[in-house]
Amino acid sequence: MMPRFHISVQAGFLSATAAVPPPSMVADVYTISGSPLRCIEGETHAQFIAWSQVAVQNRIINNLEGNGVTDYATTTKTFTLDMEQPNDGVDTFAHPADLHNADSTKQAEIVTAWKLRIAAARVVLPNAKLTMYGTLIPDEHGDATDTTYVARKAALVAAGVSGLYDQLDYLSPILYIRFGPTDAATHWTKLAAYTRLGIDGSRDLLTSTGAQLPLLPYLYYRVSNGNSVHNDDILLDMGLQMGFHATILSQISVMQGRDVRDVAFWVGSNETNTGILPAPNDANWTLAQLLVRLMPTTSVTIIRDQMVAVLEGATPTSGSGQKFRAHRDEVDFFDWCGTNKAAAFRRFEVRGGTSFEGPEISNTDVEWHRVPMTVTVAYPLEWGKYGAKNRASLEKVVEQDIHQIDDLIGLRGMANWTGGSQVRKVSDDVAEQDGVLFSRLQFEVGYFRSV
């Protein structure tokens, strides 16, 4: 089953003025930041551990009410506790990724302080689902033997034995994209290994009774790594043919294979999401546009109609006076071309889409399917029609057309698609029948279909 996407917003739920999520997503995760949790940057370790549970409870209530959440005693939505401060790397280490850098005494005190804040949230939100942000950050290359990762995970496993996760409903590893396509191949190609390590490692973090909690991994639409040349780039602005398919949806495939049922999609605050998103933003994306492109739904009929429209609107590379024209299905395509050779040049049909593979990814709203589709183009075998070299000239025209069709509706033509489909040319060949040469391009089409 495909994980369900939950949109996570800082200090609130997603506002309709920022974006209306597609049906495949739910806007039901509220992130409580460090300040109301009394995890304050710049405080000392002693100040951090001195806060009382009542003081934290009051600050959480003020935060919720100040952001329009008044049903906190009854709500069943999800609230993420973002406890990353104080963390100066010298005296304070109150960040899940840095807990291992503290000595054993401070580790115990930090875990106790985190437990107090979780207990405070549970009192204020007795029926809500709670998770803790960043319960594991995997090695960015997916290396389970990396010394920092091993130490980080060991500290968080020990924290679980001490009861850190006992009042939580989820664990939330951070699986933000760390590299892009122009980083070293040894980095960019490790996305699946990185994602697997985040999931598998998180499942070793148990409660004090040895129970394994469900996961709510965090994903983001930007690269998050100061060591990457793509740092802070929106994933659709990295020059990839299928930006989300090559990144987030690749991660989703890994999660589906590991039975992860839910993911949190971090989008920041409602203020920054209203209108065009902050720079860097090469294409002036809005959040609504990103959400639609992350998981759009379409159908084979729509895909076929788009293919036809794109091809009919194209100007061929050679012989541009004769454009591609779709066969209208009055009679069989091959029979019609055989008896109407004079009108058959660049007549084409799009067929397929009735043999489904999948679903590879599925939840109760959408499914990812793959279907085969074929584009067939006719070329009457008329001597001298295509150039002085006759058959060689025809073959050159066919070769140019095949390349152009792939450019228009294959992976290189993703800019022509509005439905989020992934189209990949599998093969091409030619065959002759009744004095007509037919070129055939076989495509594999992947798309999200509404359930």
- The answer to whether 444 and 370 are in contact (CB under 8 A) is yes
Residues of the chain with pLDDT under 70: 1-2, 241-242, 296, 353-366, 414-421, 451
Every domain of the chain and the residues it spans:
4-294, 300-450
Tokens describing residue 96: 């899940």
Name the residue among 405, 404, 373, 361 with its Cα closest to residue 301.
Answer: 373
- What stretch of H or E contains 438? strand 436-450
Q: pLDDT at position 246, please? A: 81
Q: pLDDT at position 430, please? A: 96
Tokens describing residue 342: 């004079």
Q: Whole-number mean pLDDT of the chain?
A: 91
CATH topology of domain 300-450: Alpha-Beta Plaits (3.30.70)
Q: pLDDT at position 420, please? A: 57
- The answer to whether 260 and 3 are in contact (CB under 8 A) is yes
Distances (CA, A) of 121 to 33, 111, 170, 376: 12, 15, 14, 62
Q: pLDDT at position 365, please? A: 61
Contacts of 175 (CB under 8 A, 6+ apart): 138, 194, 195, 198, 217, 218, 219, 251
Question: How far is it, in rounded angstroms, from Cα 155 to Cα 274?
Answer: 39
Look-up of token digits 């090695």: 139
Amino acid at 59: R
Tokens describing residue 108: 């115990």
Question: How far is it, in rounded angstroms, from Cα 54 to Cα 76?
Answer: 22
| pLDDT one-digit tens code per residue, 251-278 | 988 998 899 999 999 999 998 888 899 9
Alpha helices, H only, 295-429: 300-312, 333-339, 391-409
3-state DSSP assignment of residue 44: coil
Q: Name the region of 78 (left: φ>0; alpha: ψ -120 to 50; beta: rest).
A: beta
User: Residue 41 carries which DSSP code?
Assistant: T
Name the residue among 228, 214, 339 with its Cα closest to residue 264.
Answer: 214
According to DSSP, the residues that pair with 278 across neighbouring strands are: none
| pLDDT one-digit tens code per residue, 105-140 | 999 999 999 999 999 999 999 999 999 999 999 999
According to DSSP, the residues that pair with 357 across neighbouring strands are: 370
| Diameter over CA atoms, the chain | 92
Distances (CA, A) of 395 to 344, 387, 399: 16, 10, 6
Backbone angles phi, psi at 250, to 5 degrees: -65, -40
| pLDDT one-digit tens code per residue, 329-382 | 779 999 999 999 999 999 999 998 666 666 655 555 667 788 899 999 999 998
- The answer to whether 448 and 297 are in contact (CB under 8 A) is yes
Q: Which CATH superfamily is domain 4-294 in?
A: Aldolase class I (3.20.20.70)
Q: pLDDT at position 292, please? A: 77
Question: How far is it, in rounded angstroms, from Cα 183 to Cα 247?
Answer: 14
Q: pLDDT at position 239, please? A: 84
Distances (CA, A) of 272 to 222, 268, 284: 14, 7, 13
Distances (CA, A) of 432 to 194, 404, 436: 50, 21, 6
- The answer to whether 157 and 163 are in contact (CB under 8 A) is no
